[in-house]
Structure 1
């Protein structure tokens, strides 16, 4: 396969869909992984309309075996993965006095552990110039106490991205998280398409000045 390939983890109608469309417009073939097949099929149809090849798989991101197998199938089919975009997080409206340890661990397994699973599965198909991108959040720095697990997820995600970048950079693969410093829909800056554009830019930043975290808006 000659065209570059992006794998979008937790694909759906929001930011992840905008990321998929942004890369597709640049000629990337797209592999979609998510839990809602109807949403995946809708997005796949939109992407095919842009003239790229699209594959999709339904999997629970917290299911390590299923997620790993799906990403390996994508890589074996395309023979390359150039960008892995990680989008999921769990929103659970419970404060720290209500949140149980099992609930916290369940949410972290999705919002942080899923990235570990995805990168480990994708790594054999990535080469120099490959990129790992992740949708971060201001919750990492300013958590809302009524959704305590979200702040833990986003802080952990950012930390893991930094570790992944350090582990991968000698092979020419870089990792970056984009910290969305606001709420989607609050104004014209915070549309999924604007955030998708920021993720595109972060993936294509100058490697000589690489940042593992990019705030949006700057």
Structure 2
């Protein structure tokens, strides 16, 4: 039997990189989809040192066709996608009086719409037991007005996760958003590695009593 596979969308040096390493340590092979080749190249050696086979692709996930093609290539190569982790969001420091509608929609396309794209592309390669995870944020409930679009993205992506979970549950595929109720830091309860541990725990739960949102408060 082949090893399980996680595809990390929005792969970078923070939480998403920690998620990739956490799952690699649990025996997963890893597909990385990110925006910068140099960042992906930095992640690969550490993942391979954990025994993972690693594929990586640079794509703009707001380019629907490019994102679909990238995820499809991962699925075709491995024959399976067991976990799809979605991390992207846009941080734009503008309050609601300076934020334009086109800017808001551009950010939502990244932080919410791209999830639709990658899930639809991954679905043919997912089977019962498959999981979709999303890095959520307390900004969904307690937005900072200085970066108004971020709260909209995080509320929207959490809502979409609820819908995805209900849609896919009959096929044995579940979705979860882990709401990080704290600011990321280099030390303490909200390091990227600790958040990755929370995401692993949320994905690895038994399906009985499943919830499509899990709060992480450290």
TM-score (norm 1): 0.98
Distance in 2 (alpha carbons) for counterparts of 1:56 and 1:63 = 17
Distance 1:147 1:186, change over 3 A: farther
Quote the RMSD (CA, aligned, Å).
Answer: 1.0
User: Structure 1: any 5+ residue segments left out of the alignment?
Assistant: none
- Secondary structure, counterpart of 1:214 in structure 2: strand
- Post-superposition Cα deviations, 1:175-198, rounded to whole Å, max 9, x if no partner, equal 000000011017500000000000
Deviates more, 1:39-48 or 1:132-141: 39-48
Equivalences for residues 124-143 of structure 1 within 5 A: 124-143=124-143
**Distance in 2, Cα, partners of 1:75 & 1:44:** 19
Task: Please list every run of 5 or more consecutive structure 2 residues that lacks an aligned counterpart in the other structure.
Answer: none
Query: Which residue of structure 2 lines up, in the alignment, with residue 120 of structure 1?
Result: 120
User: CA-to-partner distance for each residue in 1:80-116, whole Å, 9 max, x for gaps?
Assistant: 0000000010000000000000000000000000100
After TM superposition, what 4+ stretches of structure 1 lie above 3 angstroms from structure 2? none
Distance verdict in 2 for CA 1:107–1:73, change over 3 Å: same
Q: What whole-Å deviation, never above 9, does each CA across 1:97-142 have from its counterpart, x for those lacking one? A: 0000000000000000010001000000000000000000000000
Alignment of 1:107 with 2:126, yes or no, is no
Structure 1 residue 205: deviation in Å? 1.4
Bigger CA drift: 176-185 or 202-211? 202-211
User: Residue in 2 aligned with 1:49?
Assistant: 49
SS at structure 2 position matched to 1:208: coil
2:120 & 2:45 partners in 1: Cα distance? 28
Per the alignment, residue 213 of structure 1 pairs with 213
TM-score by length of 2: 0.98
Q: Output the CA distance in 1 between the equivalents of 2:202 and 2:117.
A: 22
Change (3 A) 1:34 1:186: closer
**What does 1:1-218 align with in structure 2 at a 5 Å threshold?**
2-185=2-185, 187-217=187-217
Question: Aligned residue pairs: how many?
Answer: 218
